[in-house]
Every structure is written in C-alpha cells, then in structure tokens.
Amino acid sequence: MAADKRPLYIDGNWTEPSGSEAIPVYDPTTGTEIRSIPSATEADVERATKAARNAQDDWERRPAKERGDLLREVADVIENHAEMLAETLVAEQGKTRSVAEYEIRAAADIARYMSEWDRRIEGDVVPGSEPRQSISLLRKPYGVVAGIIPWNFPISVFVRKFAPALVTGNTTVLKPSELTPLTTLELVEIVDREVDLPEGVLNVVTGGGAVGAGLVSDSEVDYVTMTGNVDTGKAIMRNAADDLTRVSLELGGKAPAIVCADADIELAVENIVASRTINAGQACTCVERVYVHSDVREEFQAQFVAAMDALEIGDPRDDPDMGPQVSEGEREKTQEAIRGAIEQGAEVLTGGAAVHDPPTDGGHWVEPTVLADVDQGMDVVSEEVFGPVAPIIEVDSVAQAVEYANDSHYGLSSYVFTESYRDAMQIAEDLDFGETFINGSGGAQQGHHIGWKESGLGGEDGKHGALKYTQIKSVYHNFQ
C-alpha cells in the first residue's frame, strides 16, 4: 500500500516524513519484522495540525448532514474491506481472527452510530432576564482534535475518536501506536481512495511517544483525546496545561468481578474467562480480580480452573481461543506479575509460565493463569496486569466484596454475578466504577464507556461521547 513508503497522511495527501527515523513493526506470533514505518518529526506534526486548522472553518460550516453522510460512507468502506483489514490486524497485533473481525465490525458500527448524531445534536433556548430577550445555548466544535491511539484495539479506538469529532464539526490529527500502525494506515488509504473527505479534515502521523508529546503540546490543538496508561495520561495533562487544552483520557483499569453466593456459576465462569483472556488479556476492561463468596468458592474455582486450562493457545490466524501477547516486553511484564504474586504467597492453580510447547518459535506466548491464596494486599490485586492472569480472592459477604473492589485507584469496568435483583442493584450503586456489567459483559454504542478515579477523564460512546467534542456558546437575543 502507498502508506508503506509514505506513512504520513497530511492535508489529504500521503507524504514522506522530513526525518529518517524508522519504526520496525513486528508479528507477535513469530517475533519477526513485518515492515518498517518512518517516524514523523516535529515539523511534520506542525504541518498536520496546520492542515487541520486550515480545514476546520469550512468543515464546521458544512451542513451536519453532509458530515454524517461522509461518515456513513466510511462505515461502508470498513465493512466492504473487513476481511483485508482483519488480516492485517491479526498480523501486527496478534489477536485471534474472530476477535480481529469483531473489532473491524465494531469500528464500522461506531462510524455509523456516530454519523447519526448529525441531526441529533441539540442546543437549548432558555427564557431571558430582560423584556423581549431570548437566550440560545448553541453547541459548537472545539476546533482541532488530537487523538492518541493505543496498540491493543487500534482500529476501533481510532474510529471511536475521529468519528464523533468529525460529525460535530472538528478536524483531526491522530497518531496510531508505533506497535500497531499498519491496519490504521491501511484503513486511511482506503478512505482516501473511496470517500471524498475534504483535505485536512483527517490527518495521521506515525511515531512513538515523542511524536505524541509534540502533538499534545502543539499550539494549534484545541482538544486532546487519548487512550492508554495512567502515567502517559498524566504526562498529557501536564503538557496540555500550558495552553489550557481540553483533555479526555481513557486510562488503565483493574476490573473486579464479584461472584455472589447465589450466582449462576456456569454463567460467571464463561463470562470471566472470556473477559480475562480476550486479546490475551490485553484490554483495560478485562476482569483482573475475582471476588468469590466463600459458599461457592470451591465450586467456582474448580470450574474456572478447568475452563482456563482447556483454552486453546495457537497461531491467531487459525482462530484459537487465545493468541500471543503483542510484544516481548508485554509478555515479560505478565511473567513478572506472576512471579511477584508467587513470592508474596499466591498459589498457581494453572498456567504461571511461558507456554512450554509454543505454537510458533519466537512468539510472545504466555499461559492463562489462575492464582489462589491471594489476599487484598498483594501487588497482583492492586496493580494492572495486561495479560491473562486471574487472582481469586475469597470473601465472606457482599459488603466485603464491594469494599475490596472499591479499594483501588482505578475505576473503569466492574462485573457482578448474582440472581438477586436487590443485591445486583445495591452492588451496582455502591461500586465506584464508571461502568458495571451485571450477569454479562460487553458494552454498546448507545451506552457510555467512562472511567472514574485514575481510569480517566471524560468518556466514549453514546450521547455523551458525541457531545464531549462540543462546547456551549451562549447567544443573547434582544429584540425590543
């Protein structure tokens, strides 16, 4: 594709970077290099943000329906090229084929859902305080939106940021992760070829953390939206403070799952296993702590260990239950978390090491791991583990489970399994998390994906995910 040699998409054109730094992109299944992508420079970032600034006035003045129509074309393009995009995603990120296909479908769904806000964003008209006065509260775009995209869901999050930004009249400059830029570049090339987006509305720069930092601190940027880890999010807030740039952050998670005494154990096991191992555990919404009532702990633990032990690990192109982690660095972090838990007294019930008979040489394989004899004070309970590691903590009551679940500086996703309506509602109300799933998992576009505490600021999806890209302007009409 054209993006292989000219990876910067600026002002409607593919262009070469002004520097010579190269970024190797690896296949997590084998550890071999797929290809190399040149990195943007500070001057390239400035070109991209200026292009977005120059395009913004015209884009904002276009009828909202015209912006929505173009996003609906983007959704069609994603659906029409889903198979090719999924193949690239599997190759660079290592997620299984079915999960990659799910992500591509989700990206199309996001674009289509957000496009429908073209005629749904409303202001308000409120009474004036003077005779013959009316006050209009209008929703206006911020201007230039910078998006920092994570490596674990590169396409769905990419669309999750630019689609609501564009439909509300903003222009965008986005940076994919240096670990997984290829599917994004492939999608942008298809959009460039098949959708008549105005020049400068969508810009893409590649590179590592220095490129992201330059983008955040660029004076042309009015709004920064980022998905990633807590430390990076805090650094972005510090960089954005100089210009009082608005910031929206989706950061890490340490999702608890509470299994009550009356829970459907089979249902709980099925959902928690899926949540803990999707994308090899590399999702901020994954269950990371399992609080099980003492009355059912043995039953749950036996079924859960059996289910984790039975998972098929293999080449993601063959669509097993789980593929490799994205990099050797991520695999080693997972192994270090397991070693630390063992040193602090945890018992490994299954897994606990690199895969003994890996499907391929050189891949970043790790076994799904279940830990028992875990107490609330262990690091594996408090620190985010971006891999398929599930510590089980026994509790004596619902109140204790909620207390332990809330004992975290994270506050993104949480899960509850109970047959009691009263307990379900009480626990959901008492949990200090932005989203709670009762007897199930998985969000919806019309909901709102939001983190509390150090899991972020602002949120994604739904009405509030669209409106966050707008600011309110008050207009006082005096007509006497």
Q: Which residues are catalytic?
A: 250, 284
* Signed CA dihedral, 379, 383, 389, 393: sign only: positive
Structure tokens at 192: 């460039």
Cα 418 to its chain centre, rounded Å, is 28
Say if residues 120 and 56 touch (Cβ distance below 8 Å).
no
The candidate with the shortest Cα–Cα distance to 224, out of 128, 144, 319, is: 144
Neighbour count for residue 397 (Cβ, 10 Å):
12
Give the count of beta carbons closer than 10 Å to the beta carbon of residue 396: 11
Q: What is the amino acid identity at position 279?
A: N
Q: What's the rounded Cα separation, in Å, for the pair 136 and 126?
A: 6
Nearest-Å Rg of the Cα atoms of the chain is: 23
Do residues 390 and 280 touch, judged by C-beta distance below 8 A? no
Query: Considering only CA atoms, which of 260, 256, 219 is closest in space to residue 240?
Result: 219
Phi, psi (degrees; rounded to nearest 5) at 439 = 55, 40
How many residues are present in the chain? 480
d(CA 216, CA 210): 10
Closest of 203, 212, 210, 267 to residue 14, by C-alpha: 203
Q: What pairing do the DSSP bridges indicate for beta strands 459-460 and 449-450?
A: antiparallel
Burial 297-315 (b: 16+ CB within 10 A, else e): beebbebbbebbeebebbb
Instruction: Output DSSP code: residue 313.
Output: B
What is the Cα–Cα distance from 342 to 346, expressed in whole angstroms?
5
Beta-ladder partners of 37:
23
Angle at which helix 182-194 crosses helix 154-167, to 10 degrees, equals 40
Query: Cα(84)–Cα(100) distance, rounded to whole angstroms?
Result: 11
Burial of residue 361, with CB atoms counted within 10 A of its CB: 0-12 exposed, 13-18 middle, 19 or more buried: exposed
Written as six digits, the tokens of 175 are: 């940076």
